């Protein structure tokens, strides 16, 4: 596993905001931990780093979306202190299938 990518996370800071006195907010996307690295603290470390960077950017919140069927991921997010807060909606603009991290090699 030397040199292998253990995991990834994308952090997007949105500013300015029209709410919360113009303070920015952050979104996390593409939280993926390789199968061989799961349950070793990689996901927690990635999310802690994302949260710290969002705080440093002055964000008033960090949020992410998780598909309903991803119950293990949702249990992880709860375990690190996140709470379910909204129902998501989307509008797709192309015919390409949407792959999930579980489908990745």
Residue 104, pLDDT score = 46
- CATH, residue 57: 3.40.630.30
In a domain, 104, yes or no: no
- pTM above the 0.75 mark? yes
Q: Which domain holds residue 80?
A: 7-85
Q: Please give the Cα distance from 58 to 2 (Å, whole number).
A: 36
* 81 assigned to some structural domain: yes
Give 28: exposed, middle or buried? Use CB within 10 Å, 0-12, 13-18, 19+: buried
Q: Which two tokens stand for residue 38?
A: 């799961």
**Structure tokens given for 31:** 């939280």
Q: What total number of domains does the chain contain?
A: 1
Spell out the per-residue pLDDT of the chain, length 105, in tens.
678 999 999 999 998 778 888 899 999 999 999 999 999 999 999 999 999 999 999 999 999 999 989 999 999 999 999 999 988 888 989 877 655 555 544
Classify residue 1: in a domain, yes or no.
no
Instruction: Give domain status of residue 100, yes or no.
Output: no
Long-range Cβ contact pairs of 68-71 (< 8 A, separation 24 or more): 70/100, 70/102
């Amino acid at each position: 596993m030397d040199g292998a990518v253990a995991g990834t996370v994308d952090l997007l800071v949105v500013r300015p905001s029209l709410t919360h006195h113009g303070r920015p907010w952050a979104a996390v996307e593409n939280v993926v931990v390789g199968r061989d690295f799961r349950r070793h603290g990689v996901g927690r470390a990635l999310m802690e780093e994302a949260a710290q960077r969002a705080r440093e950017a002055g964000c008033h919140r960090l949020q992410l979306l998780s598909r309903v069927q991803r119950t293990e991921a949702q249990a992880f997010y709860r375990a690190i202190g996140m709470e379910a807060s909204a129902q998501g909606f989307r509008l797709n603009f192309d015919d390409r299938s949407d792959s999930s991290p579980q489908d990745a090699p």
